[in-house]
Chain A
């Protein structure tokens, strides 16, 4: 496999462990303050402020604390976390160590999706080298009383295990079904202990922020979405790969960078994101406009949008954990609707009903899977309705 990285990434320029060396000279609240000034938000999709998560965890009652790195990367279209772990594992483990110093955790866990099992040996060797260098294990330099170590857990193949509370259920040896919240993991996470869960990329940015200073990060991007972010770009373009952008870039800029022409639509945010038609390519990726998942898939003019909707819905039907009826049964109904459309057997009123159902699923599901599952379908119906309707009639089956 070839590297997916493109261009000059900040991660390649930051010297590993300068951030950690800086962090160990600071007080734990000082580290949290530095991150607050940077404005760094989680890169795993939710976009929650990192400093606030750490403050909540540090303030919660023990026993013990955990730092969990979420490398589930189950979102179809996302591969940036794989590329980060392959290229910059040091920065990720460094970020976890900084988080541990800030909240007072002594154990870290890297949850790696099983499909990335081929990386585990490399991860182990990076961890071993860090232990050898005294950057993990007992008595990390600079702070005599600071012990922290990281272990790797391989997943077993369930997308929903990327949802942080489902991930914790998995680590406790159960079915990975999302928990009711509150309590949030920062209060009661793994085995009841306060736990910080972040995406792979978030931890790497933590190291960069500590190395280069909060002001550097804050001055990039937009007011509401400061900083840089990695994006997995694939589909119908000349140069797919992992790109770094300042938040606030427009879709047209992106398409030019990756070499995409004659584009019918761009799916922002993977299967749980939405399809953006050409009339909206001036829109920008930032909290203020289009929220950023890390996955961007370009669809050229030859693509059948019904295939795209069907592919994504099949994914959700397969991956729904089944706790909520709207998510479990509703996604099946939507997929059935896609089949009817394909066979030219879907009356317009039925399609309208399906859209209503889609909105109901979004409102009544317990976790982000159900809340976002209908989104791709709904956006495709609203922007490409003409292409979906009036297909040649096929027999059932």
Chain B
């Protein structure tokens, strides 16, 4: 039988929800896993989850829209975040920000058309004493400088150890 991509994802998500015994207390754990696998939680995924948990889709959406690590549109394979912690040197941080935008050809808040990179600002991530700080899929780079941007991006594409595995966010 021919199944569409959408049906396949639907079945995968139903299976996932079953592994949590269709317990709505596990909603966030389920959403985290969906986000990890598909890099976003689509409207369709929210509908499937809601049906499987027997709750209103609005309840699922209210949770998805609340948390920063859950997104309704696909994020890049590599999510690059620059911390805007006030303790960091603003001049150095601005240079890193400009260089990231230059190299990726996108602005903060955007994802490259090939779906590889998302560029985001983040608040303080507990590295106030070692700024500027860049995080790639959750891996932290401290005392970061603009001249390291090129090597970082090459490392993402080459599967080097400067980045964590995609989808780990």
Evaluate contact between A157 and B69: CB separation under 8 angstroms: yes
Q: Which of B24, B90, B140, B168 contacts A173 (CB 8 A)?
A: B24
Q: Which of B27, B62, B68, B86 contacts A76 (CB 8 A)?
A: B86
Evaluate contact between A234 and B128: CB separation under 8 angstroms: yes
Q: Using Cβ atoms and an 8 Å threshold, which residues of chain B touch A232?
A: 128-129
Q: Which of A176, A240, A315 contacts B87 (CB 8 A)?
A: A240
B94 in the interface, Cβ–Cβ < 8 Å? no
Evaluate contact between B85 and A76: CB separation under 8 angstroms: yes
**Quick one: which of A153-190 are within 8 Å of B by CB?**
154-159, 170, 172-176
Given contacts A73-B126, A175-B62, A235-B87, contact A2 B67 (CB under 8 A): no
Within the assembled complex, what's the spacing in Å between the Cα atoms of A147 and B168? Answer: 33
A21 in the interface, Cβ–Cβ < 8 Å? no
Q: Using Cβ atoms and an 8 Å threshold, which residues of chain A touch B164?
A: 118
Within the assembled complex, what's the spacing in Å between the Cα atoms of A155 and B138? Answer: 13
Within the assembled complex, what's the spacing in Å between the Cα atoms of A116 and B69? Answer: 13
A362 in the interface, Cβ–Cβ < 8 Å? no
Evaluate contact between B25 and A173: CB separation under 8 angstroms: yes
**Quick one: which of A226-248 are within 8 Å of B by CB?**
232-235, 240-241
B32 in the interface, Cβ–Cβ < 8 Å? yes
B127 in the interface, Cβ–Cβ < 8 Å? yes
Binary interface encoding of chain B residues 116-144 relative to chain A, with 1 for a CB under 8 A from any of its CBs, else 0:
00000011111111100001001110100
Q: Using Cβ atoms and an 8 Å threshold, which residues of chain A touch B28?
A: 156, 170, 173
Evaluate contact between A307 and B125: CB separation under 8 angstroms: no
Chain A interface size, as a band, is: 35 or more
A79 in the interface, Cβ–Cβ < 8 Å? yes
Which of chain B's residues has its CB closest to A319's CB?
B123
Q: Which of A113, A155, A311 contacts B86 (CB 8 A)?
A: A311
Given contacts A173-B28, A176-B66, A234-B128, contact A77 B87 (CB under 8 A): yes
Q: Which of B25, B123, B130, B142 contacts A318 (CB 8 A)?
A: B123
Within the assembled complex, what's the spacing in Å between the Cα atoms of A139 and B67? Answer: 38
Q: Using Cβ atoms and an 8 Å threshold, which residues of chain A touch B68?
A: 156-158
Evaluate contact between A1 and B123: CB separation under 8 angstroms: no
B70 in the interface, Cβ–Cβ < 8 Å? yes
Q: Using Cβ atoms and an 8 Å threshold, which residues of chain B touch A113?
A: 126
Which of chain B's residues has its CB closest to A2's CB?
B130
Q: Using Cβ atoms and an 8 Å threshold, which residues of chain B touch A308?
A: 86
Give min CB distance, A294 to chain B, whole Å.
11
Q: Using Cβ atoms and an 8 Å threshold, which residues of chain A touch B168?
A: 117
Evaluate contact between B128 and A115: CB separation under 8 angstroms: no
Binary interface encoding of chain A residues 311-340 relative to chain B, with 1 for a CB under 8 A from any of its CBs, else 0:
110010011010000000000000000000
A91 in the interface, Cβ–Cβ < 8 Å? no
Binary interface encoding of chain B residues 45-73 relative to chain A, with 1 for a CB under 8 A from any of its CBs, else 0:
00000000000000000110011111000
Q: Which of B67, B86, B142, B169 contacts A312 (CB 8 A)?
A: B86
Evaluate contact between A156 and B135: CB separation under 8 angstroms: no
Q: Which of A81, A115, A155, A311 contacts B125 (CB 8 A)?
A: A115
Q: Which of A82, A175, A295 contacts B66 (CB 8 A)?
A: A175
Within the assembled complex, what's the spacing in Å between the Cα atoms of A170 and B130? Answer: 30
Within the assembled complex, what's the spacing in Å between the Cα atoms of A264 and B130? Answer: 21
Give min CB distance, A137 to chain B, whole Å.
23
Binary interface encoding of chain B residues 23-50 relative to chain A, with 1 for a CB under 8 A from any of its CBs, else 0:
0111111001000000000000000000
Within the assembled complex, what's the spacing in Å between the Cα atoms of A118 and B124? Answer: 16
Q: Which of B24, B69, B123, B130 contacts A114 (CB 8 A)?
A: B69
Given contacts A77-B124, A173-B28, contact A115 B135 (CB under 8 A): yes
Evaluate contact between B86 and A154: CB separation under 8 angstroms: no
Q: Give the residue among A1, A74, A233 with the most B Cβ atoms within 10 A.
A: A1
Beyond known contacts A1-B140, A175-B63, A191-B25: 13 more, CB 8 A cutoff:
A74-B123, A76-B85, A76-B123, A82-B126, A115-B135, A118-B138, A172-B25, A173-B24, A176-B67, A235-B128, A240-B128, A297-B87, A297-B128
Ranked 10 nearest A-B pairs via Cβ: A157-B68, A234-B128, A240-B129, A156-B67, A234-B87, A76-B124, A173-B27, A79-B126, A115-B125, A157-B69
A–B complex contacts, Cβ < 8 Å, 24 sampled: A1-B140, A1-B142, A4-B130, A74-B123, A75-B124, A76-B85, A76-B86, A76-B123, A76-B124, A79-B126, A114-B69, A114-B138, A115-B122, A154-B32, A156-B67, A172-B25, A173-B26, A175-B66, A232-B128, A234-B128, A235-B87, A240-B128, A312-B86, A319-B123
